[in-house]
Structure 1
Amino acid sequence: MALEWEQVIVDASDPVALGRWWAAALGWVVINDASDEYEIRPAHDRLPGLLFVPVPEAKSAKNRLHLDFRPDDQRAEVTRLLALGARHADVGQGEQSWVTLADPEGNEFCVLGPRPRP
């Protein structure tokens, strides 16, 4: 049996606005810009993607699933993401080597530090 990871679904109050934010944050391309299914991917022919769908309720608690990113320069990337509209998030992580941020709708994600060398 073959199983391919197609995408992660992200509930959103405004799928288009949130999808555009993530496309800018990740440098990904828009595959579908419909208001009920806004999809972005690393490239048109690459998976997995992120699919933003509308939901009536606002986010109310810490995410059960979040994304981690490992940039070349953590400080520069955090600064760039904050300038795009992310904000610092406290989910009880305490003092750590990663930085926890939230997108414009409050979805948490982490910007990791350098990968430890063996």
Structure 2
Amino acid sequence: MALDWEQVNVDAADPAALGRWWAEALGWVVVNDSADEYEIRPEQDRLPGLLFGRVPEGKTIKNRLHLDFRPDDQATEVTRLLTLGARHANVGQTGEEPWVTLADPEGNEFCVLGPRGG
């Protein structure tokens, strides 16, 4: 049996706005830009992608699944993402973690990891 990872689905109040934000944050391309379903991928024919779908309810608690990113320079990337509209998120960190937890404009948490090591 073969199982291919197609995409991660993200609930959104405004799929197009949130999808555009993530496309800018990741440098990905838009492959579907309808108002109710907005999909981005690393390249037109490269998977997996992120699919943003409209839902009526807002986010109320910490995500049970989140994305982790490992940049070349954590501080520079955190600053860039904050400039794009991310914000710091508190999900119970102690302050000594080697990652920074942020939230996208609709409150979905993600982590910007520090350098690999030990």
Looking at structure 2, the residues matched to 71 and 114 of structure 1 have their Cα atoms a distance apart, in angstroms, of 8
Looking at structure 1, the residues matched to 61 and 83 of structure 2 have their Cα atoms a distance apart, in angstroms, of 24
Question: Could you say which residue in structure 1 is the equivalent of 2:81?
Answer: 81
Following superposition, the deviation at residue 75 of structure 1 comes to: 0.2
Q: Percent identity?
A: 79
Name structure 1 gaps, 5 residues minimum: none
Looking at structure 1, the residues matched to 37 and 86 of structure 2 have their Cα atoms a distance apart, in angstroms, of 22
The residue matched to 2:51 in structure 1 has which SS? Answer: strand
What per-residue deviation string (whole Å, max 9, x for no partner) do you get for residues 4-41 of structure 1? 00000000000000000000000000000001110000
Q: Which amino acid aligns with 1:59?
A: K
Coordinate RMSD, CA, aligned = 0.6
Question: Could you say which residue in structure 2 is the equivalent of 1:105?
Answer: 106
Question: Could you say which residue in structure 1 is the equivalent of 2:54?
Answer: 54
Looking at structure 2, the residues matched to 64 and 35 of structure 1 have their Cα atoms a distance apart, in angstroms, of 26
- Count of aligned positions: 117
Question: Could you say which residue in structure 2 is the equivalent of 1:39?
Answer: 39
Question: Could you say which residue in structure 2 is the equivalent of 1:72?
Answer: 72
Name structure 2 gaps, 5 residues minimum: none
Looking at structure 2, the residues matched to 29 and 94 of structure 1 have their Cα atoms a distance apart, in angstroms, of 36
Looking at structure 1, the residues matched to 3 and 89 of structure 2 have their Cα atoms a distance apart, in angstroms, of 34
The residue matched to 1:9 in structure 2 has which SS? Answer: strand
What per-residue deviation string (whole Å, max 9, x for no partner) do you get for residues 47-79 of structure 1? 000000000000000000000000000000000
Looking at structure 2, the residues matched to 116 and 78 of structure 1 have their Cα atoms a distance apart, in angstroms, of 19
